[in-house]
Each structure stands twice: as C-alpha cells, then as structure tokens.
C-alpha cells in the first residue's frame, strides 16, 4: 500500500525502495507466523512443556494484535488435528505477506516466480474451525529436504534475493539512511535529517520503524521515512535550495493535526488539507507544508528538527486511545504534545503496559475512591491527573532507557499515585484552613465593629458580605471535590457546619449597622466578641495541625491538635456563660427596646457561631483520630 501511496502523491521514483522495505518487513512477519504455528502445535502435542507467548517477536515485527500472545497457550489436540486459536487468520496473513515479499522481485525479474508462488499458496493447508493438520504444517515449513519444494524454502530464497537487491539499489548508507544518486551538496542535508532521527530513535524502544531512504530526483533532494509500520503512514521531504517541503499522509486526522502542532516552532506554511484515495480504495489524509530558511545552517536545523519529531508519531493513536480512561480529550492531546516537546514520548508508557500499567496502580492504591466507570480525572481532578500521567510518561521512558526493572517502575508509579490520592485530603484541609481564615476575618470585623469609626458602617457590611460569599464558594468547591471523592464526604459536612459560623458573623455585621450600641451591655457583648475571635483563631490552628498529622503522627503534632480542639470546646462553654451575662445586663440596662433587640440578636449570633465552631472541631477530631491515625 505504501508504494500505491507514493504513486498517488507523485513519488513513483521512491517506489522500488518502498517495495523492498515492505518485502523485508513482510519476511519478518512470515517468520513470526511460522514460529507461532509451530510452537502452538508443539504445545498441543506436549502440553506439559513451558508455554511461550512470542510477544517480543510479535512487537518486533510490527504486528499490533495482542490476542496472538495467547495462541500457543490455547492450542489443544483434537484427535489427529491441533486446534490453534486464530489459525485461519494467521495462515491468511502468511499468504498475504508472501505476495508482499515477492512483489519487488516480480516487478524486476519474475523468472517463473509467480507460478511457483501461486502453486505453493494453493497447497497451503485448508483450515476449518482453526483445526490444523500437523503433518501438512510440517510439510509447509520444511527446508526443502528430499527435493520437495516448500513455502519455507521459498521464503529463504526470496530473502536472499531481496538482500542482494537492497545492496544494488542503495549505493551507500549515510548515517543510517539508504542513499543513492546523491549530489555532493545533498549529503549535509541528509546527515542533518538523520541526526534528528537518530537523536530520538531510541524513544521507539522495540517498535520497528524510521527506516529512511534518500535520493536525488527531479533536480531536488528527496528523503522518505516509513515512520512506523502503518501502510498509509508516509512522509516525503523535498529539499531544493534552502526550502524544505513536507508531504505527509495519515489515516488519522487527529495525528495529522498533532504533527502540524509539533512543527509550529518552525513556522511551517501548510497547504489546505485534503483527502486522497489509493487505487485499492482506502482513504487517507494528505497535507503538504513548506519551511523557508535564510541560510544553509538554518535549513539543516529545520531538517534535524523534522527528523527528531517522527518517533513521536509511532503508536501515537494507540497511546491516545489508552489514555481515554484517565484524561479528557484536550488533556490527552496536551500530554502527548508535552511528551514530544520534552523528548520523553509515549512509547515508554506503552512499552511498560500503557493503560494496564495505570489501572494496576489504581487497583492497588485507590480503594473506595474509584468505582466502576470512573475516570481518573473525575476522581483526582484534571490538573492532578495530568500531573500524574506526565510523571508516568517520564518515569517509564527514563527508567526503561536506564535499564531499571519493570517491577521497580511499577512500584514507583504506584507510590506516586498513592501520593496524589492523599494529596486530595491535604488539599481539602488547606481549603478548610482558607475557609477558617475568612471566619477569622469576619469575627475580627464584627468585634472591631462594636466601636465603629464614623462612616465605616456601609464598608463593614460590604466587606462582611464579600467574605461570606468567598466562604460559600469554598463550600461549593468542596462539594464538587467530594462528588469526585465520596470517601472524603466528612470534609463537606465539616465545612458546611463551619460555614454556619461565617453566616452568623455576616448577620451580626448587618445588625451592627442598624444602630450605634452603647451603655453597659456593650461591655458584655465585647467579652463575647473577644471569645469568638479567639475561637476562630484556634480553629485555624486546629486545621493547620491536622494537615501535619499522618498515620505515623508524632506525639507533639497530635498534642498540639488536641489542645486546639479542647480550647474551642472550652471557649464554646465560656461563650454560653457570656451570652447569659449579656442577656441579664441587657434587660437591666438597655436604654430602649431597639437596643435590647440588637444586643440580644447579636449575642445570639455569636453564641450560634461558637456552637458551629465547636461542632466542626469535634467532627475534625473524630476524623483525625479514627480515620487518619487509627485508619
């Protein structure tokens, strides 16, 4: 198909090498298919022997079909036949790849090859219900003993002829590129492109791809890279004078857009995107772009950058799909682009297990925080999840490149995810502490308002209303966080109770603006206001100490926390007494009914705020002692 695409985009001159590269890749797939069938039959006949998956061989030859990894283990004898899961499909792929492998030789010098190939393919064992005749398979794979022809014999002969053809077509290998018919001036540009390819090629790990050919055709340098193993995934680069033009084809519109995004730093001018169709009828997307340079150094720099980006297109769509269970669409694209920009890539993530890697970490650490159907971003939040997966990408790539074991990397990722889950509790405690700060501001505002400055009444009410609104928003934010993490519902209940204190203080600020208080009851009200300011300050301390306590809490941390809780409870009792004293004093000394009502109403607001802070403090104490320290 790649040769058809090259013809469709006007690059017929590259077809011979494309055919050859495709044939050599087909050779690898055929040998894998042979090995898979043979090992499956051996296991069916000797099930007591250890089972191999051939997963590494499968990925090395570019076959993206994990179901094949269980073929050997699933093989069983059925009478004189071997039942091999997927045998019919495997045999069909072998037949298709035989034609791909023979294509360059048929195009150049058939020599009766077509008839021989047709005869051997016609003799392939017939398969019904995935049942294979071991004798027929052995005949297909024998190496020509006794003069009889076989498919295996033909494969070996074709491979030898393909190697000879490769030596003929490519005059030299220039920094890893198969090069022919180059002009002297072309060589620095090819080397620059290959410097970029080679710099990041290790990020593809075991995945095949990035084979490059370079030639001079039509008066310009032509560089072609096969990127990965997808047939319709081709990039052709033309270099003429100081201009680099790029022709890129892809079956995935999203990956094409990602490719354009990667090249934004180079100021590429893109033509309008359009869809082309190859003769076989399979549609693909095609786009062309142009990068201008002011001198040869800049042109080589553009080529090096372009070459260095290609590895990030390999398995890109697979990585995007595997992130669906964790991130929303825009964040998935942002993660993949960031991984490319930092030369980390996504292949390490896939090599280490991809989605399965993250799901195993979730199963080990999330507990009741995750439920069936939840996405990680719905539980941790978008920013926290993006930060975690950015770490996963980096840890996987750097760890694999440095030779660290898979087990160590899995454990490291698991521990980091556990930290992100525990971060949620710390974030909720910080939000509760910020909310407590607003309560303290309101308490201070009301306390100071008992002796108001001239013309300060309206400003005090506005400030109190603003503080109370901000406190309500924090409760709403906590409600959204708890919706994602129902196991932290205690923090919502705690903040809702504490918010009652904020409401009471805001009401008290409003009442203070109705009249100027004076007389002996004002002294009793001042005592009550001072107590509430102290209680709100102790509430801030309690939350601060709670944030420092873990399962391995020190005695000092726990003591400071419990002391702050005890002071809040004690202040609530003192506030009860102070509120009664205020009632007696007000009844005796209020100058009129208006003053009587205001002193009583404001005192009631203070006493209700003290109750709310005490209730919230006891809820926090129970959570810390039962869920954090003992949990």
414, part of any domain: no
What distance in Å separates the CA atoms of residue 100 and residue 107, rounded to the nearest whole number? 11
Place of tokens 């680099």: 244
What distance in Å separates the CA atoms of residue 524 and residue 519, rounded to the nearest whole number? 10
pLDDT tens digits, one per residue of 97-143: 999 889 888 887 777 899 999 999 998 888 989 999 998 888 888 76
Res 551: pLDDT: 47
Res 450: pLDDT: 87
pLDDT tens digits, one per residue of 250-285: 888 899 999 999 999 999 988 766 665 554 555 677
- Domain end (from 268, 295, 313): 313
Q: Residues 14, 215: contact at Cβ < 8 Å?
A: yes
What distance in Å separates the CA atoms of residue 115 and residue 496, rounded to the nearest whole number? 83
What is the value of pTM for the model shown? Answer: 0.58
Nearest to 432 by CA among 494, 501, 489: 494
Res 278: pLDDT: 53
| Residues 300 and 327 both lie in one domain | no
Res 471: pLDDT: 94
- Domain end (from 168, 183, 201): 168
Res. 495: pLDDT tops 70: yes
| Residues 142 and 212 both lie in one domain | no
| Residues 16 and 86 both lie in one domain | yes
pLDDT tens digits, one per residue of 42-61: 899 999 988 888 887 787 67
pLDDT tens digits, one per residue of 401-418: 999 999 999 999 998 888
| Residues 431 and 396 both lie in one domain | no
153, part of any domain: yes
Res. 487: pLDDT tops 70: yes
Q: What is the CATH number of the domain that holds 505?
A: 1.20.58.220
| Residues 155 and 186 both lie in one domain | no
pLDDT tens digits, one per residue of 500-523: 999 999 999 999 888 888 889 999
Mean pLDDT of all residues in the chain? 86
Domain containing 378 equals: 318-404
Q: Residues 82, 134: contact at Cβ < 8 Å?
A: yes
Average pLDDT, integer, range 363-379: 74
- Domain end (from 168, 201, 225): 168
| Residues 140 and 222 both lie in one domain | no
H runs (alpha helix) in 327-369:
329-341, 347-351, 355-365
| Residues 386 and 253 both lie in one domain | no
- Checking 316-320 for CB contacts under 8 A at 24+ apart, the result is 316/252, 316/255, 316/258, 316/346, 317/252, 317/254, 317/255, 318/64, 318/350, 318/354, 319/346, 319/347, 319/349, 319/350, 319/354, 320/254
pLDDT tens digits, one per residue of 141-189: 876 545 678 888 888 888 788 767 766 666 688 999 988 888 899 999 9
Q: What's the sign of the alpha-carbon dihedral 390, 391, 392, 397?
A: positive
What distance in Å separates the CA atoms of residue 156 and residue 506, rounded to the nearest whole number? 88
| Residues 461 and 609 both lie in one domain | yes
- 552: pLDDT confidence band, cut at 50, 70 and 90? very low
Domain count, the chain: 4
| Residues 58 and 107 both lie in one domain | yes
């Amino acid at each position: 198909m790649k040769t058809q695409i090259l013809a469709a985009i006007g690059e017929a001159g590259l077809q011979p090498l494309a055919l050859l590269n495709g044939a050599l890749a087909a050779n690898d797939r055929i040998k894998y298919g042979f090995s898979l069938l043979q090992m499956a039959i051996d296991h069916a006949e000797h099930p007591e022997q250890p089972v191999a998956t051939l997963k590494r061989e499968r990925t090395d030859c570019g076959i993206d079909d994990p179901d094949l990894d269980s073929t050997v283990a699933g093989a069983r004898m059925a009478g004189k036949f071997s039942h091999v899961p997927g045998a019919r499909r495997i045999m069909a792929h072998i037949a298709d790849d035989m034609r791909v492998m023979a294509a360059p030789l048929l195009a150049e010098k058939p020599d009766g090859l077509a008839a021989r190939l047709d005869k051997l393919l016609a003799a392939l064992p017939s398969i019904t219900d995935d049942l294979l005749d071991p004798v027929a398979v052995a005949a297909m794979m024998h190496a020509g003993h006794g003069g009889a022809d076989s498919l295996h014999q033909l494969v070996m002969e074709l491979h030898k002829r393909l190697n000879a053809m490769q030596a003929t077509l490519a005059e030299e290998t220039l920094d890893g590129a198969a090069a022919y018919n180059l002009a002297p001036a072309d060589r620095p540009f090819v080397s620059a492109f290959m410097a970029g390819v080679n710099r990041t090629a290790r990020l593809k790990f075991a995945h095949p791809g990035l084979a490059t050919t370079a030639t001079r055709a039509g008066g310009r340098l032509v560089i072609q890279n096969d990127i990965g193993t997808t047939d319709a995934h081709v990039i052709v680069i033309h270099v003429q004078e100081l201009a680099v033009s790029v022709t890129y084809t892809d079956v995935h519109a999203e990956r094409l857009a990602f490719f354009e995004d990667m090249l934004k730093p180079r100021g590429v001018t893109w033509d309008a995107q359009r869809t082309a169709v190859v003769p076989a009828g399979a549609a693909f997307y095609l786009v062309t772009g142009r990068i201008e340079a002011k001198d040869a150094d800049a042109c080589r720099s553009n080529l090096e950058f372009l070459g260095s980006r290609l590895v990030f297109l390999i398995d890109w769509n697979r990585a995007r799909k595997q992130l669906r269970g964790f991130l929303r669409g825009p964040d998935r694209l942002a993660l993949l682009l960031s991984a490319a920009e930092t030369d980390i890539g996504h292949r390490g993530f896939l090599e280490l297990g991809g989605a399965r890697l993250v799901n195993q970490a979730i199963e080990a650490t999330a507990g009741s925080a995750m439920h069936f159907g939840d996405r990680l971003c719905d539980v941790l939040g978008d920013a926290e999840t993006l930060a975690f997966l950015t770490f996963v990408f980096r840890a996987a790539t750097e760890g694999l490149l440095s030779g660290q074991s898979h087990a160590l990397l899995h454990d490291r990722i698991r521990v980091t995810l556990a930290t992100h889950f525990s971060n949620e509790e710390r974030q909720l405690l910080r939000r509760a502490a910020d909310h407590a700060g607003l309560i303290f501001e309101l308490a201070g505002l009301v306390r100071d308002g008992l002796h108001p400055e001239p013309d300060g009444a309206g400003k005090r009410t506005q400030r109190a209303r603003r503080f109370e609104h901000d406190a309500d928003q924090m409760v709403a934010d906590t409600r959204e966080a708890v919706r994602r993490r129902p196991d932290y519902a205690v923090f919502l209940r705690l903040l809702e109770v504490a918010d009652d204190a904020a409401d009471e203080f805001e009401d008290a600020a409003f009442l203070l603006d109705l009249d100027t208080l004076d007389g002996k009851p004002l002294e009793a009200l001042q005592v009550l206001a001072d107590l509430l300011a102290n209680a709100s300050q102790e509430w801030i301390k309690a939350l601060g100490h709670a944030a420092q306590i873990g399962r391995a809490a020190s005695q000092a941390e726990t003591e400071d926390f419990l002391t702050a809780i005890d002071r809040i409870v004690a202040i609530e009792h003192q506030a009860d007494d102070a509120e009664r004293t205020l009632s007696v004093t007000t009844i005796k000394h209020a100058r009129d009914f208006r003053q009587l009502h205001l002193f009583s109403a404001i005192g009631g607001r203070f006493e209700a705020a003290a109750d709310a802070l005490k209730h919230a403090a006891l809820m926090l104490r129970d959570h810390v002692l039962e869920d954090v320290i003992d949990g």
